[in-house]
Amino acid sequence: MFVGPLLQLRVFAWQVQTRDLVILVDETITDYHREGLAAAGWKIHTIQRIRNPKAERDSYNEWNYSKFRLWQLTDYDKIIFIDADMLILRNIDFLFEMPEISATGNNATLFNSGVMVVEPSNCTFQLLMDHINEIESYNGGDQGYLNEIFTWWHRIPKHMNFLKHFWEGDEEEKKQMKTRLFGADPPILYVLHYLGNKPWICFRDYDCNWNVDILQEFASDVAHKTWWKVHDAMPENLHKYCLLRSKQKAALEWDRRQAEKANYTDGHWKIKIKDKRLETCYENFCFWESMLWHWGEKNWTENATVTPSPPAVTATSVSL
């Protein structure tokens, strides 16, 4: 849905150059952003998406079975797969010594499919495809499906895929401990997994998860800053691939207004945005304020409680 997360991976590209860096992209990724990925050192591998037959049309998980394509990368004996919303903070090459599937625990006996050691095999790919119509994924995503197939897996420490998330039951001490880990310099975590809204689709001024009720459990200004530090350390020529779309600017301002109306006590909605990306535009349509005029008029408010951000604006309003 957002191109930003994919671009974030470029950070990894210039930090670690001892291995091939392969990125799987589908036809929704623009040439502009492919160019950015290539400039950062990624080998671009275009894939045909795989539809989850049990997913609803246009839902966030409709295409996430595309991840099965990993098993077709048989030019490689082994792959460390990393989701696009991760920040690699330390060298993780030692994972290449681990077998398929090595992953971190998610809950109970299940693994999180955001970081996985995978051994490509056409046979395994076929196995995954063969049961696509029958296997029920507990969370509707690839994680649930893969956990049904790989019931035996190797547990690696949480620091290899550390979730940026404060559980409802987390005590204050636990929250402080997590926050220390999110901000540690030099880093302690190997991989930080940004749940909720990603920092690259927020303004740099603060974590925009604060402005959405159901996303506040993912809000951490410290983790947010950690991403921006890495962003600023990237070669300058890559920054132009991290700009915000007009639609996204409108979405952020919309959320901020909702937070203001609800008078959220954290008060982040009061912060004046200084991020220069607010004024910078790389699309044909730059008048993002006009998108707000009609925002929320459509029937999206009916399910506002389950929809974290407003629906896409129509093509007609984009081409004004």
Site for Mn ion in 84-123 (CB under 5 A): 85
CA–CA gap between residue 162 and residue 226 (Å, rounded) = 14
Closer of 140 and 288 to Mn ion (Cβ): 140
Coil, strand, or helix at residue 160? helix
> What backbone phi and psi angles, to 5 degrees, belong to 207?
-70, 115
# of chain residues touching Mn ion (CB under 5 A)? 2
CB of 256 to Mn ion, least distance (A): 24
Site for Mn ion in 277-316 (CB under 5 A): none
CB of 73 to Mn ion, least distance (A): 20
CB of 304 to Mn ion, least distance (A): 23
CA–CA gap between residue 315 and residue 320 (Å, rounded) = 9
Closer of 83 and 253 to Mn ion (Cβ): 83
CB of 297 to Mn ion, least distance (A): 31
Q: Taking phi first (over 0 means left), then psi (-120 to 50 degrees means alpha), and beta for anything else, what does residue 275 get?
A: beta
- Kindly write out the interface string for residues 239-278 of this chain, putting x where it contacts Mn ion by CB under 5 A and - elsewhere: ----------------------------------------
CA–CA gap between residue 249 and residue 112 (Å, rounded) = 31
Question: Nearest-CA neighbor of 252 among 235, 236, 269, 239?
Answer: 269
CB contact set of 250 (below 8 Å; sequence gap of 6+): 288, 289, 291, 292, 295, 313
Closer of 12 and 295 to Mn ion (Cβ): 12
CB of 193 to Mn ion, least distance (A): 6
CB of 61 to Mn ion, least distance (A): 12
Closer of 33 and 165 to Mn ion (Cβ): 165
The residue from 12, 23, 65, 83 that contacts Mn ion (CB under 5 A) is: 83
CB 211 within 8 A of CB 251: no
Closer of 83 and 221 to Mn ion (Cβ): 83
CA–CA gap between residue 156 and residue 227 (Å, rounded) = 24
CA–CA gap between residue 75 and residue 110 (Å, rounded) = 29
Q: Which stretch binds Mn ion (CB under 5 A): 76-84, 233-241, 295-303, 306-314?
A: 76-84
Residues near Mn ion (CB under 5 A) are: 83, 85
